[in-house]
Amino acid sequence: MIRRWLLSALLVPFLSSPVVLQAAPALDLRGFADGSGAIMILETGNVIDPYFTLQALLLAHENGLDISAYASPWVNWLIARQRLDGSFDRYCRSGPVWLACRGADADDALLAIWLKFLDTMPAQLDSQPAWRKSHDAASKTLATLLDRKRGIYLVSPTFQQGLFMDNLEVWSYQTARTGLAASVGAREFARAIRNTFWDAPSGRFLVSTQPEQKTMTPGFYPDHVAQLFPLLVDYPLLPAGTGSYYRTWMKQHRALWLSQVSHDYAWGLIAYVALKQNDKPSAQCWLREALPYQQTGHWTVTDEVIAQILQTKGLLPATANVGCN
């Protein structure tokens, strides 16, 4: 898919036509989506984690890609598998059938991103009773995960700990809602997140409320990734200005990030943060380093969507002579 786009990008300067209103570029998830509406984590894979599919579709929508070919089929597919309490599982393919095979990694983040996604389609939400029922059930279940003492959300009924990145997902959903009460609530929640997770002695956000977090040696994931996650969702309560905070992270971790794809995942989310910070060279370095791993187990549906977003912004992979470390 990316290879076709690169050719098109090279041809554009040589083509001329009258100025017309152009349709939004269509998201292309061939290989990730099947005819039933299911969207897999990996191309032609056998596992679906709804969180990553929703993350990918939301990013595409927020960046002007037309997701209409996938949005409603995916919602209908997932609603048919939603638990009675409004939560979700992860799903594995068994022949032609998708079966629940594991619980969600984190109920709070998944429920929040599901609600946020449904809210991007208000007409369908209002006209389709199954969608509204699903929205109401998810909203009620998410509310039960609130730790009222600390003002943050817990992972699930069985895992009674708070996670920094999960709470940022919930905060992002709350900030997307309209109305004075929602606005006030989001501000209070933002402060609760900072008060709970910011660790002044180490100068970093802790990834979890688990006590051992303060003494564990930070690793790339989740620790270093978590420090950049506030910029993904525009969380404002940082220890420094956004630009300075971002540049410090890149100075410390860019080389490590760009090397991840060879043995872990591509981590396209960081390339997207680079784009948001107008750091196009880092995003282009990511394209150069990560695209060779397309159609491998290192490349997720989120990476595919982010590569398509970068292409629509006119970004091409860094050339071989550009230093990226």
Is residue 32 exposed (0-12), middle (13-18) or buried (19+ Cβ within 10 Å)? Answer: buried
**The residue count for the chain:** 325
Q: Mapping DSSP to helix (H, G, I), strand (E, B) and coil, where does residue 208 land?
A: strand
Question: Any idea where the domains of the chain sit in the sequence?
Answer: 1-8+23-106+113-141, 240-317
Asked if the model's pLDDT at residue 172 lies above 60, the reply is yes
In this structure, which amino acid lies at residue 267?
W
- Per-residue pLDDT band at 180 (split at 50, 70, 90): confident
Asked if the model's pLDDT at residue 17 lies above 70, the reply is no
pLDDT tens for 310-323 read: 999 999 999 999 99
Let me know: does 138 contact 114? Beta carbons within 8 Å. yes
Tell me the pTM: 0.92
pLDDT tens for 42-67 read: 999 999 999 999 999 999 999 999 99
pLDDT at residue 23, rounded to an integer: 87
First to last CA, the chain: 27
